[in-house]
Amino acid sequence: MTLKKKWLIVAAAVVVAGLLAVGGLAVIAWIKFDEVSPQYRSLPVYVHDQTDSTHPWHRRSTATCGAAVFVNDFEESALLLQRSPTNAIGRAPIGNALVCSIAGQSPQDYIAVDCGSEMPAFEVFRNAKRPAFDYRHAKFQAMEFTGVIGRTEHKRSTDPALIDEIVRTLSVGTPAPTELPASMASKNITGLHLFSDELPGLIFCPRVYHGEAGAIYLTESLGSEFTNRTVKFHARWISAGPLLTQWLRVP
C-alpha cells in the first residue's frame, strides 16, 4: 500500500468519525428535546389532536385524557387567560408541554393547554360536555382596550351603557363588507378585553378593526387561511356603535 493510499484511508476514517459524532449529538439533542422532565412524569397524559371545525376558517383542537375530552374551537378562540398558568395537572406524551388548571376555574370545566412549539403558548380548552360560553347572555363588569403593542393606548371602562352596546353589536349587528389586512401584525387590528364574574380567570376578547377611512368594526372571532406564505383573515365584521366609536377616538 502506498503512502498516498494510507493517507486517503486515514482522512476518510476521520470524516466518517466526524459524521458519526455529529449524528450522535443530533440524536442526543433530539432525545433531550423530547424527554419529559422528571417532575412531570407522574402527571396524567393528554393527547392533542386537531381537525377541521364546522365553522369555516377555524380548526377544532382536542385534548383527551382517558374519557375526558376538552375542546378549543370557534367558541373558545375569543377566550384568553387573565394570567399565565403555573399549576400543572397534566402533560403531553413527549416533551415538556403541560396542561394546567386555570385560577378561578374548575379543571373539570376549563383547562389551559400548551400548544406552542419552541415557547409555551397556552390556549383555553373547554370540557366538551360543558356548554360553550355565551357572551350574549353574560354580565360584564369592566372592559379594556388593549391598543397596539408599543403605543400607550390602553384604556379601561366600567360604563354599563358602553359595554352593553358592544355586546348588542356583536349579538345582533349586521355584517358590513370590508377589506381585511393581509397580516395579523397589522396595526389596524387590535382587541377589547371584557371581564365577567361569570368567567373567572378568563377574558372574552372580541377583535377591533380600524378601517382606513376611520370606520371601526367589531368581530367575535378571526378565522385564518394560510396560502403562499401569507395569511388571509376571515371575519364577520360589524360596524361599531356610536359609544364605542367615540370612546376609541378620544385619547
What gap in Å lies between CA 8 and CA 3, rounded to an integer? 9
Q: Mind listing the pLDDT tens digit of every residue in the chain (251 residues)?
A: 444 333 333 344 433 344 334 344 333 332 334 567 788 889 999 999 999 999 888 889 999 999 999 999 999 999 999 999 999 999 999 888 999 999 999 999 999 999 887 777 899 999 999 999 999 999 999 999 987 644 557 899 999 999 999 999 999 998 887 666 555 556 778 889 999 999 999 999 999 988 777 788 999 988 877 777 777 778 888 999 999 999 988 87
Residues 83 and 187 in one domain: no
- In this predicted structure, what is the pLDDT of residue 19? 35
Residue 14 forms part of a structural domain: no
Structural domain ending residue among the three candidates 95, 127, 159: 127
CB atoms within 10 A of CB 101: 19
Residues 178 and 209 in one domain: yes
- In this predicted structure, what is the pLDDT of residue 110? 98
Residue 160 forms part of a structural domain: yes
What gap in Å lies between CA 82 and CA 25, rounded to an integer? 40
144 grid coordinates: 379594556
Structural domain ending residue among the three candidates 106, 127, 148: 127
Facing residues of 91 across strands? Answer: 45, 98
- In this predicted structure, what is the pLDDT of residue 151? 55
Residues 51 and 84 in one domain: yes
Residues 233 and 147 in one domain: yes
Decide: 47 and 64 in contact? Cβ < 8 Å.
yes
What gap in Å lies between CA 75 and CA 59, rounded to an integer? 11
Decide: 164 and 171 in contact? Cβ < 8 Å.
no
- In this predicted structure, what is the pLDDT of residue 130? 96
b/e map 197-228, b = 16+ CB within 10 Å: eebebbbbbbbbbbeeeeebbbbbbbbeeeee
52 grid coordinates: 377541521
**Measured CA angle at 97 (ends 123, 120), to 5 deg:** 55
Q: Which amino acid is at 162?
A: L
Is 113 exposed, middle or buried (CB count within 10 Å of its CB: 0-12, 13-18, 19+)? buried
Q: Using CA of residue 163, residue 165, residue 171, residue 173, what is the dihedral sign? A: negative
The contacts of residue 34 (CB under 8 Å, 6+ apart) are: 94, 95
Structural domain tally of the chain? 2
Domain hosting 72: range is 38-127
- In this predicted structure, what is the pLDDT of residue 138? 94
